[in-house]
Amino acid sequence: MMKNYYKERLKELGGKNINADESPKTKEKKRKEAFIQIVKDIQNIHNRSIGLADDYNIILLGYEDQYFQIIEDLIVEMWGETVAFIIFWWIYEVTNPKGEENIILDERSGIEYRVNSIVQVYNVLKKIKAFK
């Protein structure tokens, strides 16, 4: 909505032949930031649930399961199955990113990539062209 407002204002000021759009670099930066924030948010929600189970023996799996399924489905739709698989591997299985050897295997080339942060995960997924 706001984006269209600014485009219309630019056209009013510069004439109808003016065209303004985000640069590919800006779009990529926004996509990377969104990816990182989404994964961190899901990770925080998951960790809070684990904390409740560990500290207070409160198990929310039956309650949360459907929400996580919706989130997973949306991620598959937005970025594809490969990216979703790596995201949920990172969230559910990588418990100590800096202390473990975490490897993403590019099945097409056979190259292994070591990752220790969600930023590195994103960069590898981009490099191997895993995004939908």
Give residue-wise pLDDT tens across range 34-85: 999 999 999 999 999 999 999 999 999 888 999 999 999 999 999 999 999 9
Q: How would residue 8 be classed by pLDDT, with cut points 50, 70 and 90?
A: confident
Q: For residues 67-90, b (16+ Cβ closer than 10 Å) or e, as one string?
A: ebeebeeebbeebeebbbebbbeb
pTM of the model: 0.84
Tokens of 45: 């929600």
> Beta strand pairing status for 103-105 and 112-114?
antiparallel
Q: Phi and psi (nearest 5°) for 16?
A: -75, -10
Q: Write the burial class of residue 116 (CB in 10 Å: 0-12 exposed, 13-18 middle, 19+ buried).
A: middle
pLDDT tens sequence across 98-112: 888 999 999 999 999
